[in-house]
Structure 1
Amino acid sequence: MLYLIAWLIDCALILFVFSATRDLAERQAEPWTLGTLGAAFFLASALSNAWAGRISDRVGRRTVAIAGGACLVASLSILLVFEHGAWRFYAAYVCAGASVGHIYPPVIALLTQKVDQRTASRRLLCFGLAFNLGILGGQIGGGWLYDHVSATAPLLTAIGLAAGAVVCLIVVREDEARDKGGDQLESVSRSQQASARRFVRLAWLANCSGMFSMSTLWFLFPRLAVSLEIPAQEHGVVLGVGRAAVMGVYCLMHVVPAWHHRFRYSVVAQLLGLGGMVLVCVGRESVALALGVVLLSVLLGYNYFASLYYNRVGHDDRRKGAAFGLNEAFLSLGAGGGSLLGGWAVTEWGQRAPFQLAAVLIAAALVVQVVWFVTGRAAVDETG
């Protein structure tokens, strides 16, 4: 049931974002408007993730998630209830971001509490596949609904899916393990926990730069697609193929755990992501742009799945909500920064500038991580 909830929520969100951004792009809205809307969504999500994850450890994870789902339905309805004024877009984006921030930290914590490492990895894989299938469905389905039904069809579908998620959250029952407390089933040594928390901090930087890049695609690529005369359905496919790449990375990481506590795999993933953003910077055809999105998605898939694994190993069951909430908050901060700075970059330097800025940030974040990792390992060797 929790996997279905993940699919419903992400599909609804992407349908909402696709509908709103495509509509604004075709109305020739300013890039700054698109960027600030994205920033408003993700910054609201960052704050609510950090708060909701911690509070869900205290008052109940299912309770917090239900409240977030109900607020999401109301948030998506704003654009239908109010038909005029730019304020309604900002209100809808802020409320939707704050709402979804109350859903994922408790849901992920529920999935990973009181299970062994292999079971947790399988659950995280299924969770990752579920929400990525939701994103994929929203991106491809949004383009089809927008082109073949109406401009409001994606939004109406999003509201229906969000309402379905609320029903599922009401039906699902929270595991009593949270009330009993205690640690995860398998024994995790202090050294493993310390290593995991160190990799969590490295993943924060990688996730932040990766989501910075992806948010420029989500919120600012529509304008580039319109200028390149890429149809809405093809635009959705360009973004959608990246989801398939992310899911492939998740499956590989679950089957082959050689990447555990090994930083070099993260470096390779980020170099591929950097190459992908360079392709987006120079590509003019759908195929080249899609390849760039696929390479960037390797970075996103690897670092997100790794961050979930390290947060689970590094924290006991009673603190998992707060840990996953903070992890999601860093993702949202990166995405918010990409939307805001990307919108400004378009205004100042042109339509490709946000993607160039994203490539520079990926490279800079990777350099910081390498220096941090090398100096940290040297310090451990000296104390050891």
Structure 2
Amino acid sequence: MSTESDLITTPVTAALLRGALDLERTEHGVRPHRLPARARAQCADGQLAMAEAQPSGVRLVFRTRATTVELDALRTKTAYAGAPPRPDGVYDLLVDGRLAGQEKSTGGNVLLVDMTAGSVDTRPGPVGTVRFAGLSEGVKDIEIWLPYNETTELVALRTDAPVEPAPDRGRKVWLHHGSSISHGSDAASPTTTWPARAASLGGVELINLGLGGSALLDPFTARAMRDTPADLISVKIGINLVNTDLMRVRAFTPAVHGFLDTIREGHPDVPLLVVSPVLCPIHEDTPGPSAPDFSNLSEGRLRFVAAGDPAERAAGKLTLNVIRDELSRLVEQRSADDPNLHYLDGRSLYGEADFAELPLPDQLHPDAATHSRMGDRFAELAFAPGGPFAADRAS
């Protein structure tokens, strides 16, 4: 059995990371970010700061003969006052593309959120270690997918054999932006969020800009996408605009045009797929904002309700059906001059029949089984022959 003194420590650098757009040096190590520093400096919103620093889709990737791998990490986990603890984040270890182990970290900081008081308190904790032992002999490519739901500072990587960056396999890069559903919501692990599953089935490298609560057509997000090399791009727009009650139809349509215009400045010919919201019955025809229902919080069940009034649609308030109609019309209009622009109705990923079988536990977010289904559906619709991301179109 290898002891810590027998292991080789390798600095965690950008060369060993995929899926991150920036790497911040901290007092403990490095923190991956999914938005660049310039974008982060343009918005002081705490929800966005937490979401983009949770490394959904970010993974350490390297080639080695090692049979033992250890990763020291300092997590920051979110907890809610009055509710049972949320599940720990999971680290998925893949060997040559196949799941070979899963572990959870210990220790770490706790971000205690009191939703009734609107307060946030940080409780510091120690660095934890995840260890994978008994791996196969010989040279192999290893991926360690970081938890999608915990901010993670990477402190030290140790192995019982030298590591080097894994070679580029020549796979296309898929850049995706969306809400907490794309971020991961209640997926079982980082490789089973619906974008991660779809990327695996499609044989592409994922950069996931799913930002919980923060898919709000922010110009700095569009600029980050514009400046990120990618072969395939998708944007899933809608639910956060409704549940924050951020804008009206008058602002929404020009904002979508502007978001797509910015992406096209850096990617004029890349296949670009606009995805409308999946089914969410509370907001299909009722505007936001979404409001938490605390009545069952002590039992660990938080649900959401729509706080708007359907009559407010006449004043331009957004609902999911209003957004779908606008996105469909807008993409049809733009595609006359942009043949690589495509539209996908989100209800083809999760619709009424799916809701009857797999209802949204809190009325907003899909569970693990639904993530798996959505990933399969997206792969079938986008990557299969004839789809907007099919090899013959994206080559």
TM-score, scaled to structure 1? 0.27
TM-score of the pair, normalised by structure 2: 0.27
Which has the higher relative contact order, 1 or 2, with Cα contacts under 8 A spaced 6 or more apart?
1
Question: Which protein is richer in strand relative to its size?
Answer: 2
Whose Rg is larger?
2
